[in-house]
A and B are shown apart, each in its own frame.
Chain A
Amino acid sequence: MSSTSDATHEAHADHAHDPYLAHHFDDAEQQYDAAKMGMWTFLVTEILFFSGLFCAYAVYRSLYPELFQGAGKYLDTTLGATNTIVLLFSSLTMAWAVRCAQLGQKKGLVLTLTLTLLCAFGFLGIKYHEYAHKFHTGLLPGSHYQAALHQSTEWLEEHGYDPHSHAPVPAAVEQAALAKDGRSYGLFFDLYFAMTGLHGIHVLAGIVLILFLLVRSLQGRIGAKNFTIVDNVGLYWHLVDMIWIFLFPLLYLIN
């Protein structure tokens, strides 16, 4: 670094070598760039992973547009929009957490990570509520789909089935319910559960990662000099948000 440094200084330079710099890197910048490029490469594999589902969606929607319109009505737009806002807010707090980590603000980091974590749980809570509702009303994938279970009580009684009896739905009633809609919506719920399910698994993974960051930041093991891990978890979390940004209009906003 300088030709004028004395022995003490040299020893200092050798010893106080940045503890966060792995020695196969020239400097902190190279290490940071390598970590980020690795993360982006991983995110690309994630995008291609999800693209299979998006492609399947595009194929079936172009083949059966009426089916998507009919089935889309069974999704609750308000809950979907709420979940979108929850995830967007969690992205804001995550981006803020990266800022806090970069500036070495421990309190801010713990607070923003906690908020992100709460949003992630909130998202899954709402998702659980939606899934439970679908399970109870027969809005299930493929051949598990049961049209009779989401008809009105009056309609069911008219067809001689007491919805409070918990008895298996007679085939004729199920048949009449399907005929009323004109089709089974099982195909739509195949895609719905596959896409939101895979996304939900990513949210779960995000929760684990954010918890890990939270523990580390509470231990004071994250600071301005080693914030890269926060940055990279942030990138992952934003990707999860981005996937949802596309899932929301594709599933909940079918006109």
Chain B
Amino acid sequence: MSEHAHAEHDDRSYVHVSSPQTLIAVFLALVALTILTVWVAKHEVGRFDLLVAMAIAIVKCSLVMGFFMHLKYDRAMNRLVFFGSLLFFAFFLGITTLDLDSSKPEIEDFRIENPMIKAPAASDSVKPGAAKKEAGTGDHEKK
């Protein structure tokens, strides 16, 4: 019997069980942050809108990850795997941004040549999908 209990203990020691209090506290914090982010969006905070919204989203994600996904109590290896993906996402976004900055003049030229508003169509009615879509820009329908 004692051996059985011992085995049982060994079996379970690596498992992290969240307490109901923790789960509910995390949920309430997530709801509060959601209300906060909507409130911030409704009130002008100037140029930092997007930054504030992303900061709140990152805090919310950390809560979900740390507690709901047990990452706070998990193996370091799983944390490494997860944060590794964020590192590569940062490379992806960073290098794309650099590339975008270096081609700003060409993009400006393209925007001047391809205005946003549709030119009057030849036919009487607008058929969805009839107009050609500009490849790569989504900046549409010049004729």
> Using a CB–CB distance below 8 Å, which chain A residues touch chain B?
1-2, 28-29, 32-33, 36-37, 40-41, 43-44, 47-48, 51, 54-55, 58-60, 62-64, 67, 77, 81, 84-85, 88-89, 91-92, 94-96, 98-99, 102-103, 140, 142-146, 148, 167-172, 174-175, 178-179, 182-184, 186-187, 190, 224-225, 231, 234-235, 238-239, 241-242, 245-246, 248-250, 253-255
Contact = CB atoms under 8 A, between A and B. Distances in A.
B123 A171 contact: yes
Cβ-closest 3 pairs across A and B: A168-B125, A187-B138, A183-B116
A186 B132 CA distance: 13
Contacts of A92: 23-24, 26-27, 68
Interface in B1-59: 3, 7, 11-12, 14-15, 17-18, 20, 23-24, 26-27, 30-31, 34, 37-38, 41, 44, 49, 53-54, 56-57
The A interface is mostly helix, strand or loop, or mixed, namely helix
B97 A43 contact: no
10 contacts: A1-B7, A59-B96, A59-B100, A88-B30, A88-B31, A91-B30, A169-B125, A175-B120, A186-B138, A187-B140
Nearest to B68: A95
A65 to B, nearest CB: 9
B93 A55 contact: yes
B140 A143 contact: yes
Given A58-B96, A171-B123, A143 B141 contact: yes
Contacts of A28: 11
Contacts of A250: 53
Interface of B: 3, 7, 11-12, 14-15, 17-18, 20, 23-24, 26-27, 30-31, 34, 37-38, 41, 44, 49, 53-54, 56-57, 60-61, 64-65, 67-70, 74-75, 77-78, 81-82, 84-86, 88-89, 92-93, 96-97, 100, 107, 116-118, 120-121, 123-133, 137-141
A140 B117 contact: no
Contact of A55 (B17, B34, B92, B126): B92
B23 A96 contact: yes
B57 A85 contact: no
Given A2-B3, A235-B69, A142 B133 contact: yes
Nearest to B121: A171
Contacts of B120: 171-172, 175
Contact of B96 (A55, A85, A182, A186): A55
A68 B71 CA distance: 35
B129 to A, nearest CB: 6
Contacts of B85: 43-44, 47-48
A168 B64 contact: no
Given A32-B15, A241-B64, A242-B64, A249 B125 contact: no
A63 B107 contact: yes
Nearest to B79: A40
A94 B34 contact: no
A182 B118 CA distance: 10
Contacts of B70: 231
B41 A255 contact: yes
B81 A182 contact: no
Nearest to B125: A168
Given A92-B26, A145-B140, A238-B65, 13 more contacts: A28-B11, A36-B74, A44-B85, A47-B85, A91-B27, A95-B23, A95-B68, A96-B20, A143-B128, A148-B126, A168-B127, A169-B126, A249-B41
A178 B118 contact: yes
A179 B128 contact: no
B60 to A, nearest CB: 5
